Structure 1
Amino acid sequence: MKNVYKRPESPTHSLNKHSDSNLPLKVDSSNIMAAVHASWIKLDQRGEGQGARSSHAIAVVAQKVYAFGGEFVPRVPVDNNLHVFDLETLTWSVADASGDIPPPRVGVTMAAVGETIYVFGGRDGEHKELNELYSFDTRANKWALISRGDIGPPNRSYHSMTADDRHVYVFGGCGVHGRLNDLWAFDAVEGKWVEFPSPGESCKGRGGPGLAVAQGKIWVVYGFSGEEMDDVHCFNLAHKTWTQVETSGLKPTARSVFCTLGNGKHIIVYGGEIDPSDQGHLGAGQFSGELYALDTDTLAWKRLEDKANSDNHPGPRGWCAFAGARCGGRQGLLVYGGNSPSNDRLDDIFFLALSQERVN
C-alpha cells in the first residue's frame, strides 16, 4: 500500500458552513421501533489461551478471533504474540506470524476490513504513546507496517477504533499532550489516511470512548475527559459535519472504557468504568455490568434485559477487548477479558447474542 496523508479537499467541510451542526438534535420517538433482545453465553476455552489481561484488543475474521496486546500488571505490556481463538472448536492457538511484527503494547486497538486486520497505536513498556498502523493478512499470516511518524493520526493510546467494509476509523484517546477529539479514516483500498473536520469544543478530548458506525454516521459515545462523560456526538460521512445529539429514554450513567457495537440502527453499550480509581490506571474504579441500546433513529436509550444474575453473565468490568462476531448462527458482541472491580485481570470469553423484533 502507498502511504499517503490526505486532508479533506473542500473548505465547505468546515463546521462554520452549517450553523446548526453543533445544536442538540431531537427526533420524534413515536414511530414503529425495533425492540432489541439479548442473551449472554459463556464460551468454553480449549488449548493455551492468551491469559488474563486488560487494555488489549480483538478483531474477528470469519470464525476466528485474533487477540493482541494488553497487560496483566498495570502499564506493563504482556507480549506481542497474535493469539487466535476458533469460535467453532473453541480452541486457542498462536499465529505463526512473519513480517513486521508489532512490539508489545497496551491501550491498543484492532479492527478488520475483509480478511485483513489493522492494529493502531497504543503505549509501549516505557509508557510512550505510539502511532504505527500495522496490517495483518490472515491468509498469509503476515504483518506489514503501513504508516508511522508524520503519516496518519498523531501518537495515542486508549483511543477507539471501528470499521466498515472499506475504512478503519480512529477517534480520540490519550495523546502526547493530552486527550484528543480528532477523527481519522484509513481507506483500506487506496491506502490513504484522511483527517476529518474537528468536532470543536462541544466534544471534549477523551479517552476510552465508544465508537460505532450506524446509518452513514460515526457515533462517539461517552468516554473520559477528566471525568466520566455522558454526551453523544455523530459525524455525518456524506456531509462531513458533526452534531451533538440529545438522547432520551433510560440512558446509561456516565462511563468510559466500555464495550460498543453498531448493530443495524442500534448502538450496543456494555459495562465500563463509571467511577475512576483514585490510583488512576494502577487501581480499579467502579465498573458497570449493565447493557444498553441506543436507537440512532429515535435517539432513545433502552436498558436491555440480559439476565444479569445468571452464571452466563460477564458481570461488571471494563478495559475489555471486544468485537462484533457471529457465533452459533447468531450475530452479536464478543467480550474477552478485562479488569474487574477487585482489580483482577480476567481471561473469560462471553458472547452476547442479539436479535430484533418489530413492535408498535
Structure 2
Amino acid sequence: MNHQGLSPKCKSKKAVAKASLPRRQEHQQWVKLQTSGTVPSPRSGHDVAVVGSKVYLFGGCGGENDAINCLNDMYTFDLDSHRWETVTAKGDSVPSARASFGMCAGPAANTIIVAGGTGVEMDSLRSDVLEFDTRTKLWSKITGDGEDAPSRFYGQTVCRYGSVLLLFGGSTGLHYTNDLFEYNMTTNCWRKLATTGKRPSPRYKHQAVVVGDAMYVIGGGCFKPEQAAIDLYRLDLRTLVWDTPAMGGEVPRARVAHSCSFDPATSTIYLWGGFTGELSRLQDFFAYDTARAEWAEIKTPPADAAAPSAGAAAAAAAAAPYARAFHSAVFHDGALYVFSGANGDVRYNDVWRFKVRSTPPALGVLAARALLHTRSGVQHMMCLETFVPQEVLDGVLNMNESAGRLC
C-alpha cells in the first residue's frame, strides 16, 4: 500500500477514471467526436435515423478521395461507444445508389424508411419507398394500393405519424412541388392529401418535423430561398389545415439543405447549417420553442476562432462544426449530433456533438456518492475491479475533486 492507502492497481484505476473527467465539461459546447471502426467515406446528401442507441447512416454523394459518386452503403454509429460498423444488407430490394432522399425511423418497430432521391446519372430520379428492418438487415419495397403513390422526386421529406408516413415536397430538377402524400401501414394504401389554409410554396431540401399532432415544414426553396428570413409552416394533422405560427425571438436567415432535429423532452426543434440565397454555407445554430413559437440563437465560437495556443483538444472542444450544407443530424438523449456534409468544395466524414443538457446521474453514481462520507468507503470503491461501472468511478472522483476544492 502507498501512503494514500491505495494499492498501485487501484491508483491505475483512478488514473483511468480521471482521464474521462473532461467529458463532464462538454455541456453547452460543440465537440468533434473521436470515432473508431469502419468510418464512412466523406459524403453529402446522405441521411440518418436513430433506432435504439444507434444511428443508421445511408447513401449520399461522395466516396473515397472525394469522388463524385452516389452511394447505397449503410453504416451504424453507436452513440455510446462512438464506433462505426458497416451494415451488410439483404433482400432483393436493396436501394439503388442515391442522394437527397427522405429518411426517417419507420412506423413499425426497429425499421427505417428511405423515400425517393436521385443518382448522378441522367434520368436517375427515384420514386420508390423502401423499408429496412434493423434486426433482420432486410430491405423491402413499400408498394401499396391506390393511384396516389408519389412521383419521382428528390429533396423531399418523409415523416412518421402514428401508423402512417407523410411525404412532402421535392423536385425533379426543373419542377418543384408542395404535394403531400400519406402511406398508411395498416391499410397498405397511398393517398394524396387535400389540405386547406396557407400551405408552403413548392420547395425541396426543406425540413419537416412531426410534433404531437402537427407537422412543421421549415425552410427550403426552389433551389435557393426566396426571402430574407426563414419561413415556417404548420399542418394540423387532424384537420389538414395549414397555418403560419408567429415567430418571435432571433429568427434565422432563410436557407436550404439545413438540418432540423426535434427534442421531445422540451418540444424544441434544433436547426443547424445549410446554404443561403447567395450560396454561402452556414454554421449558425438555432432553437425553436414550439410551445412559445420563439427562436433563439445558440452562439458558439466558429471552428477557425479557436485559440491556437489552447492546444488541439481545447480548440476542438471550443469550436463549432465547419460551415456546411447537405449534412444530416439527429437529437438523442439530450444532445444534437451532426454528420458529414459539404462546404461547396470539400465533403466531410466527421461527427460533432452538442450537449444541450446532461443526463441525470445513474443509480450507481448516486450510490457511490453515498460512500463519500467516509475515507474508507472511497478507498473501498476505488479498489473494486469488475463490479463497479466506470460511471461510478467517475462519480466518486468528480465528488472528490469538488470536496478538495472546498477544503
Matches within 5 A, 1:31-180: 38-72=28-62, 76-99=68-91, 100-113=93-106, 114-127=109-122, 128-147=124-143, 152-175=149-172, 178-180=175-177
Q: Which of residues 277, 280, 297 is equivalent to 1:286?
A: 280
1:204-232 alpha-carbon deviations (Å, 9 max, x no partner) = 10111121112321001111225314221
Which segments of 5 or more consecutive residues in structure 2 lack a partner in the other structure? 1-26, 306-314, 359-407
Distance change (3 Å), C-alpha of 1:49 and 1:184: same
Residue type at the aligned position of 1:50: P
Residue type at the aligned position of 2:99: V
Which segments of 5 or more consecutive residues in structure 1 lack a partner in the other structure? 1-36, 277-284
1:199, CA displacement in angstroms?
A: 5.8
1:64, CA displacement in angstroms?
A: 1.6
Does residue 220 (structure 1) correspond to residue 194 (structure 2)? The answer is: no
Distance change (3 Å), C-alpha of 1:160 and 1:248: same
> What is the match of residue 311 of structure 1?
316
RMSD across aligned positions (CA): 2.6
**Quick check: 1:180–1:205 contact (8 Å CA) kept in 2?**
yes
1:131, CA displacement in angstroms?
A: 1.2
In the alignment, the residues of structure 2 paired with residue 80 and residue 71 of structure 1 have an alpha-carbon distance, to the nearest angstrom, of 9
Q: Give the structure-1-normalised TM-score.
A: 0.77
SS at match of 2:30: strand
Residue type at the aligned position of 2:129: L
Q: Whose helix fraction is larger, Structure 1's or Structure 2's?
A: 2
In the alignment, the residues of structure 2 paired with residue 116 and residue 56 of structure 1 have an alpha-carbon distance, to the nearest angstrom, of 17
Does residue 250 (structure 1) correspond to residue 250 (structure 2)? The answer is: yes
**Quick check: 1:75–1:125 contact (8 Å CA) kept in 2?**
no
**Larger Rg belongs to:** 2
SS at match of 1:70: strand
Q: Which of residues 294, 301, 304 is equivalent to 2:295?
A: 301
1:165, CA displacement in angstroms?
A: 4.9
1:146, CA displacement in angstroms?
A: 1.0
Q: Give the structure-2-normalised TM-score.
A: 0.69
SS at match of 1:311: helix
Residue type at the aligned position of 2:327: C
Distance change (3 Å), C-alpha of 1:287 and 1:177: closer
1:164, CA displacement in angstroms?
A: 4.2
1:61, CA displacement in angstroms?
A: 0.8
**Quick check: 2:72–2:98 contact (8 Å CA) kept in 1?**
yes
Residue type at the aligned position of 1:320: H
Distance change (3 Å), C-alpha of 1:227 and 1:124: closer
In the alignment, the residues of structure 1 paired with residue 67 and residue 189 of structure 2 have an alpha-carbon distance, to the nearest angstrom, of 31
Distance change (3 Å), C-alpha of 1:175 and 1:38: farther
**Quick check: 1:182–1:198 contact (8 Å CA) kept in 2?**
no
1:169-193 alpha-carbon deviations (Å, 9 max, x no partner) = 2211113651111222333444333
**Quick check: 2:196–2:240 contact (8 Å CA) kept in 1?**
no
In the alignment, the residues of structure 2 paired with residue 298 and residue 234 of structure 1 have an alpha-carbon distance, to the nearest angstrom, of 14
**Quick check: 2:337–2:353 contact (8 Å CA) kept in 1?**
yes
**Quick check: 1:131–1:156 contact (8 Å CA) kept in 2?**
yes
Q: Which of residues 193, 200, 203 is equivalent to 1:206?
A: 203
Distance change (3 Å), C-alpha of 1:236 and 1:220: same
How many aligned residue pairs are there?
307
Residue type at the aligned position of 1:56: H
SS at match of 2:165: strand
Residue type at the aligned position of 2:95: P
> What is the match of residue 354 of structure 2?
352
**Quick check: 2:115–2:128 contact (8 Å CA) kept in 1?**
yes
Q: Whose strand fraction is larger, Structure 1's or Structure 2's?
A: 1
